[in-house]
Structure 1
């Protein structure tokens, strides 16, 4: 019985947490927006979150499990996992800003 309990504790400890962050380096425009989605069947399928209101792309994106996500994960035996997505839209360029110069590629490197 002690082995079964130890294995159960070990399995719960291996679930861990999930967090993914992407920073584009673009200046931020506005406050963070948040949406909740789900990951199905142990992460094989996830709900895509599109930021259609971000006309100039995103400045940063964070995807993570909410604090109550582990309870749902254990209760559904991993078939459903809630995910929280927070993003900030990027600021658009103005006509007064100069476009950044592209780095020149040496002639020795063939184009793709």
Structure 2
């Protein structure tokens, strides 16, 4: 099947599956998490991410992640370069770290 004859879903699946395989091979790892390009996602995109082997995926929608909303459409808290210590403390003090613990098994956050 030529690339141009793929449906929108097939194209998304092909791109996610191909990029995951490339990352796994080039970096010697098992890539688990995906952030959708430009944060855009719909049900078909989420299904393609799951079938490509990703365990979770994030959008660029701001907010705390909530597994009840679906693990392939998680909101996220953006941490920008050069964030101040007080800005980071503000992010985690609002409870965002609790979601990281629940979703990704993170058990510690270190402030350097």
TM-score scaled to structure 2, two decimals? 0.19
Task: Using CA pairs under 8 Å that are at least 6 residues apart, name the structure with larger relative contact order, 1 or 2.
Answer: 1
Higher strand residue share: 1
Higher helix residue share: 2
